[in-house]
Chain A
Amino acid sequence: MIDQWPRYEVFKQDQADGPIRNVGSVHAPDAELALMNARNVFARRPACYGLWVVPAGAILARTAEELAREEAAVSDGDGESVTYAVFSKRSQRQAMTYVDYVGQVVALSPEEALHAAVAAYNDPPGIVWWVCPEHLINRSDPADAAALGAATGKAFRMPNHYHTVFTMQKIRRGEEDGA
């Protein structure tokens, strides 16, 4: 079933003023369920203010090196101008390809959008670049922010709520009978 459902990249914003960052992906039959799956997989325990999902197939990704090797895309001129969302990875600290949302460009093709993105947003320099048509992003409703947040009142979900290790140590020391 896994390969019958398309993959959606998931972007998470921890706080209202925080970066919108790629955190991984989910499989889903459509964008609506993708958003729901994203909530279940990536929110609830950590902080979360908002979620975006984008069909993985709609994203064009290049490294800065690949872009430098390519000729700047020449548009054929008869396409339609589309607004693209631009994502960029600007730090090597995270090993995974976690990109942040940096802004928008208008272009006739995704290739052109990538080059326009580098021209517009390369300060600080991006290491990896993603673009996708803006209209394909499915965003969580800001009114849902409260429900996306961490379920902090649920200590029983956490393993450390049960003091298992502590109790086992006491039993081993003979301070408490395990029976």
Chain B
Amino acid sequence: MTATLDPVVAAALAERLLAMADDELILAHRNSEWTGHSPILEEDIAFSNIALDEMGHAAIWYGLREQLTNEDPDRLVFFRDAGDYRNVQMVELPKGDWAFSMLRQYLFDAAERVSLAHLTAGSYRPLAEAAAKIQTEEIYHLRHTGLWLRRLGLGTEESHGRMQAALDVLWPYARQLFVRLPGDEVLFDNGIFSDMALLQREWEDAVRPYLAECELTIPEEALPRRDIPRTEHTESLMALLAEMQAVARTDPMAKW
């Protein structure tokens, strides 16, 4: 299958897959920080499950990249420095309060749902098939975080205030999910992935009415911001990687 890809297309796809995988991995790690600390046991299990799901999606995207580049996913994850990560800043921000983590997950899931729908229709079969497999889980994630958004948004004065504060911070960051990578045009021309502007429109069509339903106000004045490239990170990522990579780096030859 990989042999049929033109090297330029393969390189562009490898970069897009790395961005997708890094987003899922870093978000999964942030979510896992709630394990043992969620507001209630049932939610602890649920959100840890979501973290595991995202970790699984990351493994799938890294695996597809490996088919193109022969790079070992474990090495990519544990021995890359922050500057080489391609995740959006939204997922590396500290977990914040429960409202922040729920809203971040919701905004991300809604974007993933849109992009998965496009990926399943793409021309690169391994990617289209993987995307189809992941879709069911994402529907559940979205349902989960969607329910929390409504309950916190329409809940008490405090829960609404926290949710609105989270949206004020996250909304401008969420836009970065749709910033084009240099190679994206090649993927678009080859029918592998859709145009980012279209994905963003569909995402906004989904999240704007829902946020309004939760009585949350989108901080429009926070826009426009410049398009932040995925090569730029906040210092939160360095702290996260230091913790995530510490054990693997202590003994690089250890067997797992």
User: By the criterion of a CB under 8 Å from any partner CB, how many residues of chain B are at the interface?
Assistant: 26
| Residue in chain B with minimal CB distance to A25 | B42
Known: A44-B49, A162-B256. A27 touches B56 (CB 8 A): no
Say if the beta carbon of A68 comes within 8 Å of chain B: no
Is B46 in contact with chain A by the CB < 8 A criterion? yes
Whether B140 lies near A37 (C-beta < 8 A) is no
B136 touches A146 (CB 8 A): yes
Check if A2 is an interface residue, CB within 8 A of chain B: yes
A74 to B56, CA, bound (A): 58
**Which of B191-199, B224-232, B247-255 forms contacts with chain A?**
B247-255
**Does A86 interact with chain B (Cβ within 8 Å)?**
no
Residue in A closest to B256 when the chains form the complex, CB atoms? A162
> Scoring A residues 16 to 57 as 1 if CB is less than 8 Å from chain B, else 0, what string do you get?
000000000011110011001101110010000000000000
The answer to whether A173 has its CB under 8 Å from any CB of chain B is: no
Question: In whole angstroms, how far apart are the Cα atoms of A39 and B147 in the complex?
Answer: 14
Min CB–CB distance A53 → chain B (angstroms): 11
Contact A41 B139 (CB under 8 A): no
- Flag whether B9 is at the interface (Cβ < 8 A): no
Chain B residues in 8 Å Cβ range of A146: 136
Chain B residues whose CB sits within 8 angstroms of the CB of A41 once the complex forms: 42, 45-46
Instruction: Give the distance in Å from the alpha carbon of A102 to the alpha carbon of B256 in the complex.
Output: 49
Q: Are B253's CB and A5's CB within 8 A? A: no
Cα of A167 to Cα of B255 in the assembled complex, Å: 9
Question: Nearest chain A CB to B22's CB is how many angstroms away?
Answer: 18
The CA-CA distance from A146 to B136 in the complex, in Å, is 9
Contact among A33, A157, A179 for B52, CB-based, below 8 A? A157
CB contact between B46 and one of A36, A153, A167, A179 (< 8 Å): that residue:
A36
Question: 8 Å CB contacts to B: which residues of A114-163?
Answer: 146-147, 153-154, 156-157, 162
Asked whether A95 is an interface residue with its Cβ less than 8 Å from the other chain, the reply is no
A96 contacts the other chain (CB 8 A): no
User: With a CB–CB cut-off of 8 A, which chain B residues contact A165?
Assistant: none
Q: Is the CB of A156 within 8 A of B56?
A: yes
Partner of A36, one of B52, B137, B144: B144
**CB<8 Å pairs between A and B, sample of 29:** A1-B39, A5-B40, A26-B42, A27-B40, A27-B41, A28-B42, A29-B151, A32-B147, A33-B147, A36-B143, A36-B144, A36-B147, A37-B42, A37-B43, A37-B45, A39-B140, A40-B46, A40-B49, A41-B46, A147-B136, A147-B139, A147-B140, A153-B133, A154-B52, A156-B56, A156-B59, A167-B255, A176-B255, A179-B254
